[in-house]
A and B are shown apart, each in its own frame.
Chain A
Amino acid sequence: MKIHVRYFASLREALGAGEAVELADGGTLGALREQLIASSPRHAEALARTRALRCALAQVMADESTQVTEGAEVAFFPPVTGG
């Protein structure tokens, strides 16, 4: 299935604003992260498991066990620091 991944803050600086990705049906956000890590050294560095990252599905905070749905907007970003 086709999904759209967006990046913010330090991840946006490392990987750009976003990209279209093909993910196996039924894949979770965690599986997507693994797939992205494997896609290039830049991704491996920015999305490394040693980094605390957060993710969102359809603009709602989610965790890596969340299943991605066809056509969904997914986002990865560092912990938030507003306020």
Chain B
Amino acid sequence: MARVSIQAADFDLTAEVAALRADDPAVGAVTSFIGTVRDRHPGAGAGSSQAVPGAVQAMELEHYPGMTESAIESMIDAALQRFDIRAARVVHRIGRLAPGDQIVLVAVSSAHRGASFQACEFLMDYLKTQAPFWKKESTPEGARWVDARVADDDALRRWGIGASNV
């Protein structure tokens, strides 16, 4: 099956995990991460994390067709080199999403849990700062592009990757 899907449609965790580990009896662990749309965003201003419930009414996700897929394929290649994992799968949604909707799935299989836990986090940290997606939030005050976060660059740096986004 494909390792990377960029799609408007929702995804099903159970089906994705079943497909990921199908026909591989060496798998002893699967780690998955799902990112979802929040109904709030951090307040402006350094250090402020005041979030107003209900402030985000919808979210529009844009990507760079072709580059997004190949960038994530390269990240999976890097994860396979770096960690003792069996397989990985990334699904990322695009288009209009509502609060509570699933946005992204990363699932990784391995023989033992440590490698898939680590590879799952590595792939999310990588994707957050190096895969070309952009979020635009609809709020009562109008639509606004979401700002990239320095904290996400710091998360990637933990893995020894210095590429920065912000």
Contact = CB atoms under 8 A, between A and B. Distances in A.
B104 A9 contact: no
A83 B132 contact: no
Interface residues of B, number: 30
Contacts, number: 77
Interface residues of A, number: 19
A9 B92 contact: no
B96 to A, nearest CB: 15
Given A59-B70, A80-B134, A82-B135, A8 B64 contact: yes
B17 interface: no
B61 interface: yes
Interface of B: 35, 61-64, 66-67, 70-71, 92, 103-104, 124, 127-136, 145-148, 163, 165-166
Interface of A: 6, 8-10, 12, 52, 54, 56, 59-61, 75, 77-83
